Chains A and B, each alone.
Chain A
């Protein structure tokens, strides 16, 4: 295996040297408006000169004309005209499943970095406290907030609400949320994460992944493997959990309250990893590289694609070679091909 690979930077636009013709002037707003559906605009480009449109996000208004302030696609909802940026910081929306990192412990709240413009807030009242039943928070809880979560800790949570200034409020009031253990963290652009009903998946090879809507990804050892080693008290709960399907079901939250009593001990805030076998560690690194490759190829990241990328990557016995550009490109190509085959 090579020690180092140094390549020359490639010019992506090499094969199209001619300038793209800019035709702001001739193409009046009237025309642009008609070109329905997916029209892509660049910053400073005239979107419309029709003053009836309301100016939304990503636009600015000058001399009775509306211009785009970002590069993205134009969206029209009734009379509201806005431009949705192709890239940019994650914008939290209620209900998003996100992965975040604690940046600050404050009075009755934690600040969490979720890749937004502002850090999100996690109130002490919106986490599961150790000690069984859904109990009220007390002053002693306030004093030992660092024993639950401290700076640097990773957690997954749901966006509970958005404040008027755009910052998010999180909650972890479900057993699928909470502190993250037994794995590794990586970031991808949030624009590549495809929103779906479920954002945590069990992948082949005894590995789970949480693809946060904010582009923060957590790869870890699957929980099922641990069921054989957990203590007798949690076994009952685990069995109940296994009997219901492993994924998230609507309505499961109401059932889980009983389970909460048994599982919601200090264990949920433990920093200790389980013992993880080398083969699982190797599989995790393979998924790590596959997700990086998908992000490199600008492919939207879904469970399907991660699994397909994983299968494509099995052709490479040496996972370390997956960090090369050619290998990443071929994986993306394989993913696209197998998607075409499935139709």
Chain B
């Protein structure tokens, strides 16, 4: 997307004000409104669909498979498909790396344990149907919802099979299946990690930059949030989709600590909102569109 020089300078001048004047006059820490629906794919263990007002849309499906632990390097595998982008393109592989890396390093793997030999492996398939701004936050929020609503069948065979040669068997009754959140040890809460994209203009940090805003950002930050704190990786990124972003420049390190404080302040609310939609979804049946 190319903006005209006059548009760019107008946008930039607006965003650099204190507080920033965003085109849709969101405050710096405000997300665009989202619509979400969970657990709507009948043939997957967990699913979520999330949509922005501008038509950006992402569907995530979680499927589980029983595997021999000794043969698997990782118990989570992500796959991302972005419509309009090749699977081996930089854009998609960076998204895929980010998400896989985040989940593999910050996931309570013990919930996937079945027996001493066997375990569940989660396949997380993400489909970005359309997007205008950088889709990583959308993807990770949808992944959060899908993982939170993932149900796995109940194991009925013996947990300890180190001695015997036995394959795990499961209860036929889907009503007895358990949510991932019920399988974590009682003292901790099951909250998968999420990514938050921040835009940097001057001293201002903008949550969830829209595609027009992305074009004039001086820098972009990707932070991850897990267990009520900001975790690594924290990385920066040029969010302008055409790479000749003339505004792109280095960033004051103070902004990083500022961004950590911002996330501490507001991420709780984001996670609460996501949890809220899951509870609400369980209670009532509705259309998925």
Residues of A whose CB lies within 8 Å of any CB of B are 1-11, 14, 101, 151-154, 179-186, 271-273, 276, 278, 281-282, 285-286, 288-289, 292, 296, 319-320, 322-325
Contacts and interface: CB of A to CB of B under 8 A. Distances in A.
Is the interface on chain B under 10, 10 to 19, 20 to 34, or 35 or more residues?
Answer: 35 or more
A3 B270 contact: yes
Contacts of B21: 278, 281-282, 285
Contacts of A323: 24, 26, 32-33, 53
A249 B286 CA distance: 54
B97 interface: no
B24 A320 contact: yes
A5 B5 CA distance: 33
Contact of B33 (A7, A152, A273, A281): A7
Most buried by A among B4, B29, B37, B288: B4
B2 interface: yes
B36 A8 contact: yes
27 contacts: A2-B269, A3-B269, A3-B270, A4-B31, A4-B273, A5-B31, A5-B273, A7-B34, A8-B36, A8-B281, A9-B36, A10-B286, A11-B287, A101-B2, A153-B5, A154-B4, A154-B6, A186-B23, A273-B9, A273-B13, A278-B17, A278-B21, A281-B14, A285-B25, A288-B24, A296-B53, A323-B24
A208 to B, nearest CB: 14
A282 B14 CA distance: 9
B5 A282 contact: no
A325 B30 contact: no
Nearest to B3: A152
Contacts of B2: 101, 151-152
B34 A4 contact: yes
Nearest to A328: B53
Given A6-B273, A7-B35, A285-B23, A276 B286 contact: no
A5 B31 CA distance: 7
B266 interface: yes
B27 interface: yes
A103 B53 CA distance: 27
A226 to B, nearest CB: 14
Identify the 5 closest CB pairs spanning chains A and B, nearest first. A11-B287, A152-B2, A285-B25, A271-B5, A319-B25
Given A3-B207, A182-B6, 6 more contacts: A10-B286, A152-B4, A180-B6, A278-B21, A281-B14, A322-B24
A325 B33 contact: yes
B100 to A, nearest CB: 25
Contacts of B30: 1-4, 320
A8 B35 contact: yes
Contacts of B53: 296, 323, 325
Nearest to A149: B4
B10 A182 contact: yes
A59 to B, nearest CB: 29
B33 A5 contact: yes
Contacts, number: 135
Interface in B130-164: none
A8 B286 contact: yes
B266 to A, nearest CB: 5
A14 B287 contact: yes
Nearest to A270: B6
A184 B287 contact: no
A1 B35 CA distance: 18
Nearest to A5: B33
Nearest to A103: B2
Interface in B259-289: 266, 269-270, 273-274, 276-277, 280-281, 286-289
Interface in B224-267: 266
Contacts of B4: 101, 152-154, 179-180, 271
A285 B35 contact: no
Contacts of B266: 3
B230 to A, nearest CB: 15
B51 interface: yes
B34 A281 contact: no
Most buried by B among A4, A281, A323: A4
Contacts of B9: 271-273
Nearest to B37: A9
A8 B277 contact: yes
A8 B33 contact: no
B27 A8 contact: no
Contacts of A151: 2
A188 B7 CA distance: 18
A320 B17 contact: no
Contacts of A9: 35-37, 51, 286-289
A229 B185 CA distance: 69
A3 B10 contact: no
Nearest to B21: A281
A186 B281 CA distance: 34
A281 to B, nearest CB: 5
A272 B23 CA distance: 19
Given A4-B269, A8-B286, A184-B23, A271 B6 contact: yes
